Amino acid sequence: MQKRKLGKSNLEVSAIGLGCMGMSFSYGVLPDKKEMVSLLRAAVEHGVTFFDTAEVYGPFTNEELLGEALSPLRDKIVIASKFGFDLTSDPRGMTGGPRLDSRPAHIKQVAEASLKRLKTDVIDLFYQHRVDPNVPIEDVAGAVKDLIKEGKVKHFGLSEAGAQTIRRAHAVQPVAALQSEYSLWWRKPEAEIIPTLEELGIGLVPYSPLGKGFLTGAINEDTKFASNDFRNSLPRFTPQARAVNQAFVDLLAAIGKEKKATPAQVALAWLLAQKPWIVPIPGTTKLHRLEENIGAATLTLTADDLGRIESAASKIEAQGNRYPENLERLTGR
């Protein structure tokens, strides 16, 4: 597996990481825990060194899973986790939106609890999960700076933050990486965020790089999700929206056919080709999908390929908002 550095931070990770949320949260029926332990260890054997979790995934059970699976391999991997929610409320935000809590004292409490669940003495990358408008970002950055001085955290990250927030945080404690949704069908970061990251030397970690499974080609307008699958609440996943958005999958499949690659591999290779400091974190609960995703790191898209994708994609307008309003308003602050 090729390695990449997240901006100027010297935090080196595998070119493709693994988003672990779906192993404990959000996508309907939960997979068997023993199988997920095996999958996480198989990922390390396949060269993946970058694993993404958060206290809110479960809540708590995802960090516990990673602690059980990866603590014996701790010296080979980089673990990213997140803080910023009040988990005494409804963490999934299905009843009006999740409550945020990035008060410095709370950040430090979350760090201590996450360290125990992850069975480690340091979190490699600690993200603010969503910007809290009630806490100055300088205070948030200062709290993580304290944790770094104490040796409990190595690097500071932000998630779904706006450009001005990124600049203000970076002035207090250098931001190693921004995690935000970015894929061929969600390109809003290109307008302001990516230029800001390039200027400041901050890495980008795209989550949902495969459009929450849609860009793999395994979902169509007739797909039925489990009743507790959170995609049921996403405007972009209504049957009508999926019918229109299928054009993105058809484009990826056409390029893939020429390259002997899958739509998912083309989607990930496209992201890798955008900047050398972009590290996508596709999630999966299946070994064959893990191997498929990893294969994207060896797929080279030529300038001609990228030009054709750009030309065709510019003619497709994605249908449906990516989140319902109560969750979308937590992004881009």
The residues annotated with a catalytic role in the active site are: 57
Rounded CA separation 60/207 (Å) = 19
Q: What is the DSSP string of 79-147?
A: EEEEE-B-TTS-TT-TTS-PPB---HHHHHHHHHHHHHHHT-S-EEEEEESS--TTS-HHHHHHHHHHH
Report whether 160 contacts 179 (CB < 8 A).
yes
Query: Per DSSP, what are the bridge partners of residue 207?
Result: 181
Rounded CA separation 13/6 (Å) = 8
**For residue 293, which of 301, 282, 304, 303 has the smallest C-alpha distance?**
282
- Sorted by sequence, the CB contacts under 8 Å of residue 228 that are 6+ apart come out as 28
Rounded CA separation 238/130 (Å) = 25
